[in-house]
């Protein structure tokens, strides 16, 4: 019937209803009626008293003592009983034959008797041998069958255990997948919450840095804020990179980059850090390197920064070196240090996420344990290789080998820095839809000075109402809003006949929106925190704008204004005792503007410009701890 319970036969593995199956004690599982009828090796274990041996035993126990019955059921007892029965039957047959022959004379009778006795004895001997072999064969068969059943039971138990293990593994896998999805959702939410304030912070820092109406010192402070915010954004990216790479959801964005400029930035950054710790920093290049190569600049920078940061962090004394060899479009970066080194047993473990070397020398050094894991995964994803050689107590050497194809130089290299002042043509109207007023204000402050007419809306309904009242040339939509998300708003705008370009702004990684990105309702996608230059370039591309600029002449070889140190004096004196107390106090509380101003004042007093320049570099990098140590050491000399 449709409601009957079905069972799987342990022999043929087919499904049968409850009326066509039963539990077999020989197999220890359910079997179907057909397999039960065909299986002759079970010994009718489901009917323990139905066998001939069992019935014979019950019959004998009714007349004989139990001990004697046990003896008769032994191997020798069975042999004697069977031989006796056969001998008795043979004797009876010979007796019938003797009477049938009926010899008439005494001599014939004696001859027949003797012949029959001899034949009987011969047959009894042969029968005894055959019976003994039969009994032994039966005993062996029963032993083999018992061993086979025991082995079958063990295999069945093992198979059942494997099924349970497989079920547990599947449950654990599903739990892990669920936990990984929860982790991804959590990271996505955290990413959005962190990127939201960072967008305003970095956006206004960029606007202040580009504002020529500010003093040079204020623009330097804005540059420091921007660099610090970008560093925080990179930390957030690092936390997200592991899950993206492992899920193969990280996309590489290859483009033309200036390799020498990238290396100069890294050398300048980590050279200051190394000198602040009293380390020597060496940079060398083997052979000519191309000015431009094709690669993902962000990821290459991330790998090199992780390796150099670890080298400086885990080296107490000695030196850190960066060496580059370029040949056949393959770059070989060698980062070596004279630090604590890595034991052989830890050399593979440190490339796993959240794993660190923990010993007496490294216990106090902070870190997440993600840098090397991300570096190896990124190098593999970019088609490269990251190798490690290390000796405890003598230092480590990391070698990154990666393909960096040469790229041609730009057709019109910039002769100087150009500042954007506006665009040619009619004024364009832009609508910004974001539930955060600070973000709407940031976009407004970034676009209005260039001649755009910017209107804002705090949600989807207000945006739709404004779109009906007055059309716009471009829409900037935040992806995550409380009443209506950006994707739904974009679909409604398209349904209402809006053909103007739409740019989506999100605080989440782009991979989190793959399913929405396949729907052609938008024309661009930017991740918060937004780079003002990237936003302007995207708008110019979508609206086919031609920017107007004002060129700011920069002397060849001079550093950028935000990083330009004051003119060096020909000579200077060392600081006197107590002269740097105010500077050290400002650095300890993180008062950047005060530190910059005090350094300028100290330089005017004639203190060594090289010493002041080194302290200023530490201040611009927000490395106040190193600044305090260097100032205290310089004052004590």
Give the least confident one: 8-12, 34-38, 138-142, 511-515.
511-515
Report CA dihedral (83, 86, 88, 93) to the nearest 10 degrees.
Answer: -150
> What is the pLDDT at residue 501?
92
**Cα–chain center distance at 50:** 64
Are 439 and 486 within 8 A, CB to CB? no
> What is the pLDDT at residue 342?
80
CATH class of 257-403: alpha beta
> What is the pLDDT at residue 569?
38
Partners of 243 in beta bridges: none
Kind of pairing between the strands at 29-32 and 280-286: unpaired
Share of the chain above pLDDT 90, in %: 13
Residues 40-61 have a mean pLDDT of: 69
On the question of a common fold for 257-403 and 419-550, the answer reads no
Residues 66-94 have a mean pLDDT of: 83
> What is the pLDDT at residue 4?
54
> What is the pLDDT at residue 130?
93
pLDDT at 311 over 60: yes
> What is the pLDDT at residue 567?
38
Domain residue spans of the chain: 74-250, 257-403, 419-550, 565-636
pLDDT at 507 over 50: yes
Residues 261-265 have a mean pLDDT of: 87
pTM value is 0.46
Q: Which of 598, 603, 566, 600 is nearest to 584 (CA)?
A: 598
Neighbours of 131 (CB within 10 A): 21
Residues 292-305 have a mean pLDDT of: 89
Radius of gyration of the chain (CA): 45
pLDDT band at 129, cuts 50/70/90? Answer: very high
Give the least confident one: 117-126, 208-217, 364-373.
364-373
pLDDT at 324 over 90: yes
> What is the pLDDT at residue 537?
86
> What is the pLDDT at residue 502?
93
> What is the pLDDT at residue 218?
82
Residues 478-492 have pLDDT tens digits of: 888 888 888 899 999
Residues 385-411 have pLDDT tens digits of: 999 898 888 889 999 999 999 887 765
pLDDT at 614 over 60: yes
Are 42 and 26 within 8 A, CB to CB? yes
**DSSP secondary structure of 430-486:** EEEE-S-HHHHHHHHHHHGGGT-EEEEESSHHHHHHHHHHS--SEEEEES--SSS-H
Are 229 and 267 within 8 A, CB to CB? no
Q: Which of 431, 446, 423, 432 is nearest to 478 (CA)?
A: 432
608 vs 432, which has greater pLDDT? 432
Cα gap 18→6, rounded to integer Å = 6
Residues 410-466 have pLDDT tens digits of: 655 444 445 677 888 888 999 999 888 888 888 888 898 888 999 998 888 889 988
Strand boundaries in 18-75, DSSP class E: 21-24, 29-32
> What is the pLDDT at residue 562?
35
Residues 540-546 have a mean pLDDT of: 89
Residues 272-282 have pLDDT tens digits of: 888 888 889 99
pLDDT at 40 over 80: no
Residues 178-202 have pLDDT tens digits of: 887 777 677 766 766 777 677 777 7
> What is the pLDDT at residue 493?
92
CATH architecture of 419-550: 3-Layer(aba) Sandwich (3.40)
Are 375 and 399 within 8 A, CB to CB? no
Helix pair angle (581-588, 624-636), 10° resolution: 160
Residues 551-589 have pLDDT tens digits of: 554 443 343 333 333 333 344 577 776 778 778 877 776
Partners of 31 in beta bridges: 22
Residues 344-380 have pLDDT tens digits of: 777 777 777 666 666 555 555 555 566 788 888 888 8
pLDDT at 332 over 90: yes
Give SS3 for 92: helix
The mean of the pLDDT values for the chain is 79
Q: Which of 499, 464, 477 is nearest to 432 (CA)?
A: 477
> What is the pLDDT at residue 247?
61
């Amino acid at each position: 019937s449709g409601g009957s319970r079905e069972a799987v036969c342990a022999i043929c593995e087919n499904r049968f209803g409850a009326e066509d199956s039963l539990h077999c004690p020989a197999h220890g599982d359910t079997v179907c009626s057909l397999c039960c009828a065909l299986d002759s090796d079970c010994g009718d274990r489901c009917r323990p008293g139905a066998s001939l041996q069992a019935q014979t035993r019950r019959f004998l126990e009714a007349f004989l003592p139990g001990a004697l019955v046990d003896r008769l059921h032994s191997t020798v007892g069975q042999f004697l009983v069977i031989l006796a029965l056969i001998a008795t039957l043979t004797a009876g047959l010979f007796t019938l034959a003797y009477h049938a022959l009926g010899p008439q004379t005494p001599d014939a009778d004696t001859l027949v008797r003797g012949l029959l006795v001899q034949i009987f004895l011969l047959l009894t001997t042969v029968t005894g041998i055959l019976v003994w072999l039969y009994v032994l064969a039966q005993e062996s068969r029963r032993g083999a069958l018992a061993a086979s059943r025991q082995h079958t039971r063990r295999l069945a138990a093992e198979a059942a255990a494997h099924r349970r293990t497989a079920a547990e593994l599947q449950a654990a896998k599903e739990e892990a997948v669920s936990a990984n999805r929860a982790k991804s959702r959590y990271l996505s939410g955290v990413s959005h919450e962190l990127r939201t304030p960072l967008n305003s912070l970095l956006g206004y820092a960029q606007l202040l840095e580009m504002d020529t109406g500010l003093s040079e010192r204020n623009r330097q402070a804005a540059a420091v804020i921007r660099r610090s915010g970008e560093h925080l954004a990179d930390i957030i990216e690092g936390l997200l990179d592991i899950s993206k790479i492992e899920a193969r959801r990280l996309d590489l964005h290859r483009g033309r980059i200036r390799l020498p400029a990238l290396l100069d930035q890294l050398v300048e950054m980590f050279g200051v850090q190394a000198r602040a710790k009293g380390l020597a920093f060496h940079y060398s290049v083997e052979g000519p390197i191309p000015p431009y190569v094709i690669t993902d600049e962000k990821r290459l920078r991330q790998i090199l920064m992780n390796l150099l940061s670890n080298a400086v962090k885990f080296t107490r004394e000695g030196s850190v070196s960066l060496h580059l060899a370029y040949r056949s479009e393959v770059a070989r970066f060698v980062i070596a240090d004279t630090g604590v080194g890595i034991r052989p047993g830890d050399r593979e473990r440190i490339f796993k996420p959240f794993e660190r070397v923990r010993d007496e020398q490294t216990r106090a050094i902070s870190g997440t344990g993600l840098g090397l894991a991300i570096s190896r995964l990124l190098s593999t994803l970019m088609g490269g290789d990251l190798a490690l050689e290390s000796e405890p107590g003598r230092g480590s050497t990391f070698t990154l080998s990666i393909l960096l194809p040469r790229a041609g130089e730009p057709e019109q290299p910039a002769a100087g820095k150009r500042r954007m002042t506006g665009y040619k043509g009619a004024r364009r109207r832009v609508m910004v839809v974001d539930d955060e007023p600070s973000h709407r204000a940031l976009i407004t402050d970034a676009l209005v000075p260039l001649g755009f007419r910017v209107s804002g809306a705090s949600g989807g309904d207000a945006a739709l109402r404004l779109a009906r009242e007055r059309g716009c040339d471009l829409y900037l939509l935040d992806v995550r809003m409380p009443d209506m998300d950006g994707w739904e708003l974009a679909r409604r705008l398209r349904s209402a006949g809006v053909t103007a370009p739409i740019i989506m702004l999100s605080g989440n990684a782009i991979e989190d929106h793959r399913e929405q990105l396949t729907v052609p309702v938008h024309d661009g996608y930017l991740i918060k925190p937004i780079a003002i230059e990237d936003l302007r370039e995207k708008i110019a591309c979508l609206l086919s704008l031609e920017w107007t600029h004002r060129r700011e002449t920069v002397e060849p070889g001079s550093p950028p204004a935000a990083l330009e140190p004051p003119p060096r004096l020909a000579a200077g004196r060392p600081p006197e005792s107590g002269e740097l107390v105010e500077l050290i106090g400002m650095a300890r509380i993180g008062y950047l503007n005060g530190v910059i101003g005090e350094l300028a004042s100290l330089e005017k007093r004639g203190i060594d410009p090289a010493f002041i320049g080194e302290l200023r570099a530490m201040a611009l990098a927000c490395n106040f701890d190193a600044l305090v140590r260097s100032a205290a050491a310089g004052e004590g000399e």
